[in-house]
A and B are shown apart, each in its own frame.
Chain A
């Protein structure tokens, strides 16, 4: 279609000539929004005209000198108008995971501050350096806006399948919808666990392999859940630091424990919080009496406390118990000590009543099978920091002997194992049968 024009109305014409050669083209130009393959010659600053070179058409405004400003795109086939300078759909991202290319349906003329672009991410970024090249106009670096700064995007922030939205700040493309709060596929524990590979922010760590290194890009945060027991090795004393754990000691996880990890510089990661599944404190209070461990008997052959000795903090431990009764009426309640953390228990002890017994019989006769005649008491263990001394023990217990017709069974006694050296495990067990019920709580008395 040829472009209409505005003839010079000042020409000395009249009648049919005026209508055919002057007025008609003028109105047709107006009716067609000055449509044509090039800017009309009569255009002045502010003239809006329709460029029909391509479909969709481009709606342009002449700036009065040499350029046109594209106002938008008009697609006569889909009856749509898309204004320029706002946002554009870039379709599925092409290129590579870290060097994306976008090919919008309406090609970009030139990068301009304030213009937004949206696209479907087709590969998760594996580098903190990410670029996007739109319509072949040159690669622009992707940044994230954090506070007043602009930082590189974390690894994995652009996830395969997500819709990303960028805005041009005049220099970079700023990623607006930084991805958050997604569950990752599980990651198996290994000597090195790469959390950068996590496909989400919430990661379940499976397996029981000791974790010595955690890889996580600086500034990135991941929340991890332990599916089982494994050791996380503290290396806060190394240079450069590796894994920094609260209290600077290794942590043995328990299924259900949850912790938050942040990446820092030089390959360091910091566990910024750790929540035990039990709710117990990760690092126990270091003053006063500290609850270290609990156990509840349920028709149990024995109740053992292990791995609790910490000579830097405690010199005195005690187990407080209540509600204890056994399956066998009239049997004894006994305590045994171990020097190898419960692998085996010492077999000879001396008490005030006997030079050599197989266990501390802290109650001679305990009620069996009846919750109303339960036993309670305290068993003390002293002196574990002196590795060559005999462990010193005391106990005070009270119960009712139904076997002896309801007689009171109260005991105040002490003793020591006939093998010297520090003990590091305490076991409770009945002389015959199991412990039906009872609550046992191990405390440490802090030195300071």
Chain B
């Protein structure tokens, strides 16, 4: 696994050390958690928008369904946030 380091005096491509690979992978794991969280938040926001439309349209059963989806997503979000 290689990374590139650029400075005003030149650019080098270096093979990463074991420690650097470990640190890189840890960062990626955290980023992936961020990605999942962002995805859930987006979905929750989308559910919110759909719920508002269901309330306006008087679609009670649709609203119930959306709320149960939101409950599951919030559980997932809580799990991610540890």
Chain A residues in the interface with B (C-beta under 8 A): 251-252, 254, 276-278, 280, 284, 292-308, 331-332, 334, 336, 342, 344-345, 347, 353-354, 357-359, 361, 364, 429-432, 434, 440, 442
Chain B residues in the interface with A (C-beta under 8 A): 1-11, 13, 16, 21, 23-24, 27-28, 30-35, 37-38
Is B4 a contact of A306 with CB atoms below 8 Å?
A: no
Is B34 a contact of A429 with CB atoms below 8 Å?
A: no
Is B6 a contact of A361 with CB atoms below 8 Å?
A: no
CB contact under 8 A between A334 and B4, given known A254-B9, A294-B11, A429-B24: no
Is A429 a contact of B6 with CB atoms below 8 Å?
A: no
Please tell me which one of the listed residues B6, B16, B31 contacts residue A359 in the complex, with CB atoms under 8 A apart. Answer: B31
Is A332 a contact of B9 with CB atoms below 8 Å?
A: no
Is A305 a contact of B7 with CB atoms below 8 Å?
A: yes
Please report the C-alpha to C-alpha distance between residue A216 and residue B5 in the assembled complex, in whole angstroms: 35
How many Cβ-Cβ contacts under 8 Å join chain A to chain B?
Answer: 104
Query: Which 7 pairs of residues, A with B, have the shortest CB-CB distance?
Result: A358-B30, A254-B10, A295-B6, A293-B6, A307-B7, A431-B31, A302-B3
Q: List residues of chain A with CB within 8 A of the CB of B32.
A: 431-432
Please report the C-alpha to C-alpha distance between residue A324 and residue B41 in the assembled complex, in whole angstroms: 27
Is A359 a contact of B34 with CB atoms below 8 Å?
A: yes
Can you show 20 pairs from A to B with CB atoms below 8 A apart?
A254-B10, A277-B10, A295-B11, A300-B2, A301-B16, A304-B3, A304-B5, A305-B7, A332-B35, A344-B23, A347-B30, A353-B38, A354-B37, A359-B30, A364-B38, A429-B24, A431-B28, A431-B31, A432-B28, A434-B1
Is A293 a contact of B4 with CB atoms below 8 Å?
A: no
Please report the C-alpha to C-alpha distance between residue A308 and residue B8 in the assembled complex, in whole angstroms: 6
Closest to A353 in B: B38
Q: List residues of chain B with CB within 8 A of the CB of A278.
A: 10-11
Is B27 a contact of A359 with CB atoms below 8 Å?
A: yes
**Chain A nearest Cβ from B40, distance in angstroms:** 12
Please report the C-alpha to C-alpha distance between residue A430 and residue B10 in the assembled complex, in whole angstroms: 23
Is B7 a contact of A293 with CB atoms below 8 Å?
A: yes
Please report the C-alpha to C-alpha distance between residue A252 and residue B35 in the assembled complex, in whole angstroms: 40
CB contact under 8 A between A334 and B8, given known A344-B23, A354-B38: no
Is B4 a contact of A302 with CB atoms below 8 Å?
A: yes
Is B6 a contact of A304 with CB atoms below 8 Å?
A: yes
Q: List residues of chain B with CB within 8 A of the CB of A300.
A: 2-4, 13
